[in-house]
Amino acid sequence: MSPCCCHNRAGKPGRSLHVYQVLMSCCFSGAAVSLVICTACNLSSPIITGFLFEMLVGKSQYTLAQYPAFFGLFAAVYIIEPLLTRVYIKHMCAAGEKVRTSG
C-alpha cells in the first residue's frame, strides 16, 4: 500500500486525517446549528406576526404596552435569519471545498 496524504508510511491514518475529520465536523456542526436556528426563526415569524395583528385589532389578551416587546422579537427574528443563512452557506461551502481538495 502506497502512502497518501492521509496515511503515514505504515499505512495507518496519520495526523492530517484526524485534523481533516475535526475540521469537517466543525463545519457541519456550525451549519447544523445555524440551520436549526434559521428554521426556528422562519417557523416562529408567522406566530409573532399573528400576535402583533391581534394586539392591533384588540382581540388579544396582551395589551398594547407589550407591543414593543413583540415587535422587538419580530425584528430580531428577521435580522437573525439572513445572518445565520450566510453562516450556513459559508460552512457548507467550506466543507465542500475541503471534501473536494481531499480527493
| Proportion of the chain above pLDDT 70, given as a percent | 73
> What pTM, to 2 d.p., does this model score?
0.58
Q: What number of residues does the chain have?
A: 103
pLDDT (tens digit, 9 = 90+) per residue, 57-80?
A: 888 787 778 888 888 888 888 888
Domain limits, the chain: 27-102
List the beta bridge partners of residue 7. 13
pLDDT (tens digit, 9 = 90+) per residue, 27-52?
A: 677 778 888 888 888 888 888 888 88
Which residues have CB under 8 Å from 95's CB, separation 6+?
A: 24, 27, 28, 31
Question: Mean pLDDT throughout 84-98?
Answer: 83
Give me the pLDDT at residue 35, please: 82
